[in-house]
């Protein structure tokens, strides 16, 4: 089994109003100490096995220099067997890089880029606290192509406060015109204690319309399908052969090792663990020669079965009931006969031979389906 590696870079130019991730504002001296700690963690953590995906997430990993990224990748190559033609992704913020910088990242091994366009409406971007404009998105995409990135992913967010269906359709159309290899789309989640949540509570911004967001979701799936994109996971579309190989590991139960503050790991069998969330405490812990792991959990058989269902069914191809029984000794069709019957009658799931999968409507209401398996 080939594993994946996730590397968390917690620095940003500014903080978005909806963000609930472990991030902070970029300072060069803090970033350098963080990179040193990160390299130490990778080199001193005992791991064996082969990997074929590396994912730099954050935060804004592209705020680091190509030399710093190269040092991190060198540590990974020293500690793991990295397969040829591995997928190596970096998250990038529009407007934060030039063609020259992107060529440097390309030269040290980055071969896939993922960036958050979110919306092409500058007013909506301002309300989200984004530091870029729609013009920055277009320029960054052009720069990526100039730097010979042929595997690019866009993020879009539906259901923004005050967003109209027509505005969302314009976002989708402009994205499809650029034709990135991959599209990720999310329904806005309002996390408590974020500036966006406070704005909504105080009436500064309207509460997102969930029904309208659902309509946006349905429209995007229909339109992108006509444009040749495959809906392979609840929130992800791609042109043929361009699925996110790294993210797919999360949904199919493969092992992944996380490095950096707040990073999570899974051994592919039953053990999950996570790192210290605070940047300063993470660096201090590594410098002191201690482990940054702050939480570990050994999954029970019941938890493993539940995860295999609700993570597996995020993939639009669904879950193979016969294979599931061979692995876990449980016949899903028998165990969840009433649930399956009700969901099928409601048009939320469908069967094809031994496969059970979400319908397009079911994908929109997936949380209600998954709740029956947790």
Domain boundaries, the chain: 3-251, 301-373
Determine the pLDDT at residue 191. Answer: 40
113, 181, 252 from 153: Cα distances, Å: 6, 6, 20
- The Cα–Cα gap between 221 and 235 comes to 10
97-116: buried (b, 16+ CB within 10 Å) or exposed (e) per residue? beeebbebbbebbbbbbbbb
Those residues with Cβ within 8 angstroms of residue 89's Cβ, 6 or more apart along the chain or in another chain: 53, 54, 55, 56, 110, 112, 113, 114, 153, 244, 246
Domain 3-251 falls in which CATH fold?
A: TIM Barrel (3.20.20)
List alpha helices for 253-357, DSSP H: 279-287, 301-312, 321-328, 332-335, 337-345
Determine the pLDDT at residue 18. Answer: 39
Determine the pLDDT at residue 81. Answer: 95
Determine the pLDDT at residue 208. Answer: 47
Among left, alpha and beta (phi > 0; psi -120 to 50; other), residue 237 is beta
Those residues with Cβ within 8 angstroms of residue 325's Cβ, 6 or more apart along the chain or in another chain: 331, 332
pLDDT tens for the chain, 374 residues: list them: 799 999 999 987 644 443 444 444 557 788 999 999 999 999 998 777 899 999 999 888 998 999 999 999 999 999 999 999 999 999 998 888 899 999 999 999 999 999 888 888 888 787 777 667 889 999 999 999 999 999 999 999 887 777 889 999 999 999 999 999 999 988 765 444 444 334 434 444 444 456 787 888 889 999 999 999 999 999 999 999 999 999 999 999 999 999 999 999 999 999 999 999 999 999 999 999 999 999 999 999 999 999 999 899 999 999 999 999 999 999 999 999 999 999 999 999 999 999 999 998 898 888 888 888 76
Element (H, E) at 7: strand 3-9
- The Cα–Cα gap between 97 and 163 comes to 28
CATH number, span 301-373 = 1.10.10.920
User: pTM to 2 decimals?
Assistant: 0.89
Of 155, 166, 156, 154, the closest CA to residue 212 belongs to 166
Contact 38, 72 (CB under 8 A): yes
């Amino acid at each position: 089994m080939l594993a994946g590696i996730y590397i968390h870079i917690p620095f940003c130019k500014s903080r978005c109003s909806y963000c609930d991730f472990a991030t902070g504002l970029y300072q060069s001296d803090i970033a350098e100490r963080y990179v040193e700690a990160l390299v130490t963690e990778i080199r001193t953590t005992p791991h064996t096995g082969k990997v074929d995906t590396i994912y730099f997430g954050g935060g804004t990993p592209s705020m680091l220099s190509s030399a710093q990224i190269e040092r991190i990748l060198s540590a990974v190559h020293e500690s793991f067997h990295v397969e040829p033609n591995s997928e190596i992704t970096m998250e990038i913020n529009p407007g934060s890089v030039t063609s020259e910088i992107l060529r440097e990242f390309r030269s040290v091994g980055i071969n896939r880029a993922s960036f958050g366009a979110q919306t092409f409406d500058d007013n909506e971007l301002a309300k989200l606290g984004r530091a870029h404009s729609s013009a920055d998105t277009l320029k960054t995409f052009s720069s990526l192509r100039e730097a010979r990135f042929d595997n690019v992913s866009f993020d879009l967010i539906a259901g923004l406060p005050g967003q109209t269906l027509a505005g969302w359709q314009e976002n989708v159309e402009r994205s499809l015109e650029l034709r990135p290899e991959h599209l990720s789309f999310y329904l806005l989640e309002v996390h408590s204690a974020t500036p966006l949540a406070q704005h909504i509570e105080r009436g500064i911004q309207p509460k997102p319309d969930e029904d309208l967001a659902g309509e946006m979701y349905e429209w995007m799936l229909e339109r992108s399908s006509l444009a040749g994109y495959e809906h392979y996971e609840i929130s992800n579309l791609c042109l043929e052969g361009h699925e996110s190989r790294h993210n797919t590991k999360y949904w199919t139960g493969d092992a992944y090792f996380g490095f950096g503050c707040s990073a999570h790991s899974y051994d592919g069998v039953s053990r999950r663990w996570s790192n210290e969330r605070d940047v300063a405490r993470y660096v201090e812990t590594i410098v002191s020669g201690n482990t940054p792991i702050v939480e570990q959990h050994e999954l029970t058989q019941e938890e493993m079965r539940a995860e295999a269902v609700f993570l597996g069914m995020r993939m639009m191809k669904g879950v193979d009931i016969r294979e599931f029984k061979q692995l876990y000794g449980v016949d899903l069709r028998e165990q969840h006969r009433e649930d399956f019957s009700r969901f099928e009658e409601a048009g939320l799931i469908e069967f094809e031979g031994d496969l059970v999968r979400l319908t397009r409507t079911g994908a929109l209401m997936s949380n209600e389906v998954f709740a029956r398996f947790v």
